Amino acid sequence: MEKLITSAVMALAALAAALPALAQSQTSPPGAPQLESNLTVYAGYRFGGELTDETTGNTWELTEGPAYSLAADFPLSPNTQWELFVSHRNSALKASGLFSPVVNNVGLDITYFHVGGTYFADQVGRGVYGVGGLGATQLSPQQAGLNSETRFSFNLGIGYMIPVTKHVAVKLEARGFVTLLDSSGGMFCSGGCVVQVKGTTMTQGEVMAGITARF
Residue bearing the bigger pLDDT, 79 or 103: 79
Alpha-carbon distances, residue 142 vs 15, 52, 69, 147 (angstroms): 31, 18, 21, 9
Which runs of consecutive H residues, i.e. helices, occur in the chain? Answer: 2-25
Residue 110 has pLDDT above 60, yes or no: yes
- 35 in helix, strand or coil? coil
All structural domains of the chain with their residue ranges: 2-25+35-214
Q: Give CA–CA dist 174/156, Å, rounded.
A: 9
Arithmetic mean of pLDDT, 151-162? 97
In whole angstroms, how large is the CA radius of gyration of the chain? 19
Arithmetic mean of pLDDT, 186-196? 66
What's the one-letter identity of residue 121?
A: A
pLDDT at 56: 73
Q: Give CA–CA dist 141/157, Å, rounded.
A: 27
Q: Give CA–CA dist 206/156, Å, rounded.
A: 11
Query: For 66, phi and psi rounded to 5 degrees?
Result: -70, 145
- 3 in helix, strand or coil? helix
Arithmetic mean of pLDDT, 45-71? 89
What region does 57 belong to: left with phi over 0, alpha with psi -120 to 50, or beta? Answer: left
Among 14-18, 68-72, 138-142, which range has the highest average pLDDT?
Answer: 68-72
Q: What is the DSSP string of 7-29?
A: HHHHHHHHHHHHHHHHHHHTPPP
Residue 40 has pLDDT above 70, yes or no: yes
Arithmetic mean of pLDDT, 201-215? 97
Strands 168-187 and 197-214 come out as antiparallel
Task: Among 17-21, 62-66, 155-159, 189-193, name the one with the lowest average pLDDT.
Answer: 17-21
Q: For 2-25+35-214, CATH number?
A: 2.40.160.20
At residue 183 the predicted structure's pLDDT band, cuts being 50, 70 and 90, is low
* Average pLDDT along the chain: 83
Query: For 26, phi and psi rounded to 5 degrees?
Result: -115, 25
